[in-house]
Amino acid sequence: MAEEEKAALNEAARPDPKIEAEVERQVEALRWGTVELIGEDDLRRKLRRSVTTGVPLRVKLGVDPTAHDLHVGFTVPLTKLRIFQDLGHLPVLIIGDATAMVGDPTGKNKARPQLTREMVDDYARSYLEQAALVLDLERCELRRNSEWLHALGFTGLIELVAKATVAQMLVRDDFAKRYAEGTAIYLHELVYPLMQGHDSVVVRADVELGGQDQLFNLLIGRQLQREAGQEEQVCMMGPLLVGLDGKKKMSKSAGNYVGISEPAGEMFGKIMSIPDEAMLDWFVLAARMPKAEAEALIAAGGHPRELKDQLARLVVARFHDGRAAEEASATFRRVISNKETPEEMPELRLAATELAEGGISAIRLVVLAGYAASNGEARRLVQQGGVRLDGEPVTDPTAALTLAGGEVLKVGKRNFARILLD
């Protein structure tokens, strides 16, 4: 080979500095919200190909609709998906309407309750409305995994479950613990990771996002793609935002969550209750403040109450707007810090039938106001001293309260209702 030809080949093999610079820019942007990355070399190679060809990466995130509200913790992977979107890649948002009817066993010490088709469809509509607060859904590929999972049939299901062993599934920490404790593990739970992995094969995912507790499920996706002759997806695991208790990850089942569609005032008040030690993660993951800036802010030694006020305003503004955040802050200071009754509050209208024999119990009042989901929960609130009527504590859950109309019911620190009689 002539020297000129060798030189030309060597020149062609050299990385293009502009392409490499763009790849590094994207990798740096994608470090936000990443605690573990499986396939970093693959990510760079995929990004390099995307930058060169102009073909976006297909970035998968699956969400099982298991309740009406998305909570702030789930916005961490949604935000990562938005970062990919802003870099020019294609978010593939999978509504797990089939997997939701099975129930993800990740992190659970018992089987999840199974949902009906009607419940899942209702939750799915709500999820998409709330996901639009973070993602531009017009620039997403939206799929439901019932498209392909319900079409598998019995033969297809057998072929899918034949791709893994029971021993492989029992390696999972949650299954291993339940097995050691003698807690039931149901066969449909063992199928769940394969269903999620099959999603990756169907949509040909280049990258899959998930919490750090999702590693096993994401790796199953890589395995199934490899067996299907596809490129293995890159697995990007994000941190788990701790809930209001500052200990467990945010979840609805633990009751330590902030829903992103909650009223601004309710959201603000909940965030003000988080432990001081959780503020850094909340500034970074919920408010999207750069970590160095958040660390400097906290290190400056401001009063925790003022820091939480700033945090709460940032988060409320993100999911509502700046005006709602400022109003929520002012209301919180007036109502909670100064112990004043708010000027405006929800109305609780009571019909004459609710005032049988001249009174109504505190339990019934709290449930009707919507501040307890059951009589048992309302009873506990009263017994714990969390219920007041016109500023006076209510201590007997069942005693008949005589009402004239206009009274103010207070439940907990921030829930109020003005009672009106029809």
Question: In CATH, what number is assigned to the domain containing residue 415?
Answer: 3.10.290.10
Q: 323 and 392 share a domain?
A: no
In a domain, 1, yes or no: no
Q: 97 and 75 share a domain?
A: yes
Q: 152 and 70 share a domain?
A: yes
Q: What is the dihedral of CA 200, 124, 77, 255, to 10 degrees?
A: -130
DSSP result, 185-218:
--HHHHHHHHHHHHHHHHHT-SEEEEEGGGHHHH
Q: Residue 126 class from Cβ within 10 Å (0-12 exposed, 13-18 middle, 19+ buried)? A: middle
Note the pTM of the prediction, 2 decimals: 0.75
Q: 65 and 171 share a domain?
A: yes
Under 8 Å between Cβ of 417 and 346: yes
pLDDT at 390: 78
Q: 298 and 153 share a domain?
A: no
Q: 217 and 319 share a domain?
A: no
Q: 416 and 273 share a domain?
A: no
Among 296, 311, 337, the domain boundary falls at 337
In a domain, 114, yes or no: yes
Helices 17-29 and 40-53, packing angle to 10 deg: 130
Q: 185 and 66 share a domain?
A: yes
For residue 308, the enclosing domain spans 264-337
Q: What is the CATH number of the domain that holds 172?
A: 3.40.50.620
Q: 204 and 281 share a domain?
A: no
In a domain, 315, yes or no: yes
Among 284, 316, 337, the domain boundary falls at 337
Q: 323 and 187 share a domain?
A: no
Q: 190 and 280 share a domain?
A: no
Among 238, 254, 275, the domain boundary falls at 238
Helices 322-332 and 304-319, packing angle to 10 deg: 140
In a domain, 149, yes or no: yes
Q: 98 and 35 share a domain?
A: yes
In a domain, 247, yes or no: no
Regions of the chain with pLDDT less than 70: 1-13, 103-114, 336-340, 356-358
Q: What is the DSSP letter of 58?
A: E
Split into its structural domains, the chain has a count of: 3
Beta bridge partners of 182: none
In a domain, 243, yes or no: no
Q: Which amino acid is at 257?
A: Y
In a domain, 256, yes or no: no
Q: Which amino acid is at 362?
A: A
In a domain, 100, yes or no: yes
